[in-house]
């Protein structure tokens, strides 16, 4: 922010739906302040991102820094790291290896998955808005799925013989998540184009090659 102030740069803050914590309103709109545990295992990430938004808005108010704050919901696609532990990459790698598919909890928690190309278009759109547009703006795909549905889709699409197994639900795992993208629609003329099944097809193809290469 100091550098942006000195050089008069426009600065993007890649914020997150985690600022809403375990949300009590659904879908989440930008005016919602969130429900975040300040001392749990996710807190350094969640509160870190919330504090980053705070600093952006303070620099904007005090120094006129041109900020653009995007709240990024779950995103997936080719070039994810196979071992980063997130649900889409985990399920696909487990399916391709014929390993058990690990569902944390009963799999009834929901997420809304945005294909990476859509997300990038949204970010570029946000950076090209007029000076007065600061955000925060939700960027994500409002199509909501349970984790069990995602697992079943990956099993069907990969044709794997992998079975579902349950593992303990991590502490403070949000029960549900789905962006309200009215603001992005109105401000950027943006909405996601890629359906989960189509995005998964490309992502599975990527991980298949990676897996084949050893």
- The residues assigned a catalytic role are 45
Closest CB to ligand UDP among residues 167, 197: 167
Closest CB to ligand UDP among residues 67, 72: 72
Contact predicate 73/115, CB 8 Å: no
Closest CB to ligand UDP among residues 42, 60: 42
Taking the C-alpha atoms of residue 73 and residue 111, their distance in angstroms, rounded to an integer, is: 9
Closest CB to ligand UDP among residues 42, 202: 42
DSSP code of residue 131: T
Q: Which of 13, 15, 28, 109 binds ligand UDP (CB under 6 A)?
A: 109
Q: Which of 173, 206, 210, 211 binds ligand UDP (CB under 6 A)?
A: 173
Q: Is 154 in the site for ligand UDP (CB under 6 A)?
A: no
Phi, psi at residue 108, to the nearest 5°? -90, -10
Bridge partners for 104 per DSSP: 167
Q: Which of 74, 75, 112, 141 binds ligand UDP (CB under 6 A)?
A: 74
Taking the C-alpha atoms of residue 96 and residue 161, their distance in angstroms, rounded to an integer, is: 9
End-to-end C-alpha distance for the chain, whole angstroms:
42
Report the DSSP pairing between strands 144-146 and 110-112.
antiparallel
Phi-psi region of 14 (alpha: psi -120 to 50; beta: other; left: phi over 0): beta
Q: Is 194 in the site for ligand UDP (CB under 6 A)?
A: no
Q: Is 50 in the site for ligand UDP (CB under 6 A)?
A: no
Q: Is 19 in the site for ligand UDP (CB under 6 A)?
A: no
Segment near ligand UDP (CB under 6 A), from 53-61, 85-93, 128-136, 189-197?
85-93
Q: How far is the CB of 90 from ligand UDP (least distance, A)?
A: 4
Give which of 172, 135, 167, 139 is closest to 45, Cα–Cα. Answer: 172
The residues binding ligand UDP (CB under 6 A) are: 74, 86-87, 90, 102-104, 109, 111, 147, 170, 173
């Amino acid at each position: 922010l100091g550098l942006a102030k000195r050089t008069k740069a426009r600065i993007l803050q890649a914020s997150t739906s985690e600022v809403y914590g375990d949300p009590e309103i659904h879908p989440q709109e930008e005016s919602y302040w969130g429900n975040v545990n300040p001392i749990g295992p996710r807190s350094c990430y969640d509160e870190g991102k919330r504090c980053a938004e705070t600093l952006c808005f303070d620099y904007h108010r005090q120094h006129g820094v041109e900020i653009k704050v995007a709240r990024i919901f779950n995103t997936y696609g080719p070039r994810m790291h196979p071992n980063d532990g997130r649900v889409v990459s985990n399920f696909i790698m487990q399916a391709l290896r014929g390993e058990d598919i690990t569902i944390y909890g009963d799999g009834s928690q929901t997420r809304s998955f945005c294909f990476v190309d859509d997300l990038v278009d949204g970010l570029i759109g946000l950076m090209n808005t007029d000076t007065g547009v600061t955000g925060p703006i939700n960027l994500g795909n409002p199509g909501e799925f349970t984790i069990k549905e995602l697992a079943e889709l990956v099993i069907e699409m990969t044709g794997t013989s992998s079975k579902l197994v349950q593992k303990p639900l991590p502490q403070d795992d949000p029960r549900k998540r789905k962006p309200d993208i009215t603001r992005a629609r109105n401000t950027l003329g943006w909405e996601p184009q890629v359906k989960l099944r189509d995005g998964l097809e490309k992502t599975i193809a990527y991980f298949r090659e990676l897996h084949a290469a050893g």
